[in-house]
Amino acid sequence: MEETQKSSYLSLGIFLKLLSRYTRKDKAIAEKRFLGANNTVISTTIFKYFISALTLNWYTDDNERSDTLKSLNSNLINCKKELFNFKFLMLEKDEIKAAFIEDVQSDTPIALAFMAEFVLYCIDENKCRQMVDELLRAIRDDKDIADDTTFYIFGNGKSTTKREMVDKQFNFTADCFLLGVWHFLISERSDSNCIGRDTLVDWYGTSTETYGKSQIGTELRRNVWEPLGREIRVIPSERKVLKEEKAVSQDNAEQEHKLFVYDMDSLSEEEQESLERLKKSRILRDLLRACHIGTCDKKNDDNKDDNNYAENYELFVMALKRCELLVLNNNNAGRIKEDVITLCKRLEKFIKLIKQKDTNNSSDKSYSAYNNSVKQKITSRKEVLDRVYTTLYGHYPVFSDEQLSDLLSVVKI
């Protein structure tokens, strides 16, 4: 008779180890995203997907990282080391965590694109319900997770509590659910993975000693958790990723539609007139120029004024409002109107992104450099806006002493 369970602590490593139970048989499909060898163990592939979601960028192997990742993954799923022991994560630990947490709690999380592809390529669709059911049981039995702990399991910035998640009937989607659990573990347990070692031994047991050390078993013991007592409903995700296309982040997806690129012969007379008015708009032109020439880092050259995004955030906000009033909300026709609405949304997202948190707090470093995750988002969105500029106004002029404040003041006046 098996020993009574002594511990139930859902750590990062145990969570990732459990996911191996629900994966599809063809692991080459899962590893295809990372162009890895077919002999890569599935747990390492799982880890790559979750590292990608955490950093909001697809993980890429290099010679140094590859061996380190395998070692860290092994130590992680066996609850011997902590997640941020990985060197390339350790250096920007706080920034990576903060950016990921903020993203998941937003209404359109970028991390969800990575999780959608993980579920599509890695998880056996016939095991999705079992996966959600067993993870819910693990969360229920973890007494260190308070009943009022929040989980962002809906993929839209909304949350529920542990009590509601376990007791109430939801239509779960696997990608949103996994992202919500990963968010909880990153925000609450990224430094306490080793605490899960006792639970790991209770759940998996130990095998014959090897080189004087007992090894964690490979199979989960039966009856680890009592049933939930209700049926779990898992519905297909609305986020479909085609197997032949590269998974894209939200920013890359926006680049697929090129604004204001038309077959001119197909435009109506009203649409052509709207397009010409747009091309003559100095207000919009200067706002797009300002988006282009801003920098993500503070300039320290005494001979030049600071010229970064955060420093001029308020001017950007006022410039966009003026632009919306005089240009973007003008009587544009047909497809021009549709593209103008899309452009307005992209400008709003860009300007929201460049805002620094607590810039009025004197204890903060004034306009300090953005973290790498934010820099990458800014760069990606700026590229989209740059294409709009060149489509409407041609190539950018060579900017010498032109400043953001000058451009935005022209728009504001």
Q: Are 354 and 378 in contact (CB under 8 A)?
A: yes
Residues 6 or more apart from 2 whose CB is under 8 A from it? 221, 222, 223
**Centroid of chain to Cα 233:** 25
Among 60-64, 79-83, 295-299, the range of highest mean pLDDT: 79-83
**Which ranges in 190-333 belong to alpha helices (H)?**
197-204, 250-254, 269-279, 282-293, 313-323
Crossing angle (nearest 10°) for helices 128-141 and 12-19: 160
Single-letter residue type at 405: S
Q: Are 53 and 119 in contact (CB under 8 A)?
A: no
What residue spans define the domains of the chain? 12-245, 252-412
d(CA 11, CA 203) in angstroms, rounded, equals 13
Judged by average pLDDT, the poorest of 106-115, 215-224, 367-376 is: 367-376
Instruction: Give the pLDDT band of residue 29 (cuts 50, 70, 90).
Output: low
The pLDDT score that the predictor gives to residue 97 is 92
Nearest to 343 by CA among 375, 289, 381, 292: 381
d(CA 353, CA 350) in angstroms, rounded, equals 5
**Which ranges in 123-220 belong to alpha helices (H)?**
128-141, 162-167, 174-189, 197-204
The pLDDT score that the predictor gives to residue 411 is 53
The structure tokens listed for 358 are 């607590």
Question: What global pTM score does this model have?
Answer: 0.59
The pLDDT score that the predictor gives to residue 176 is 94
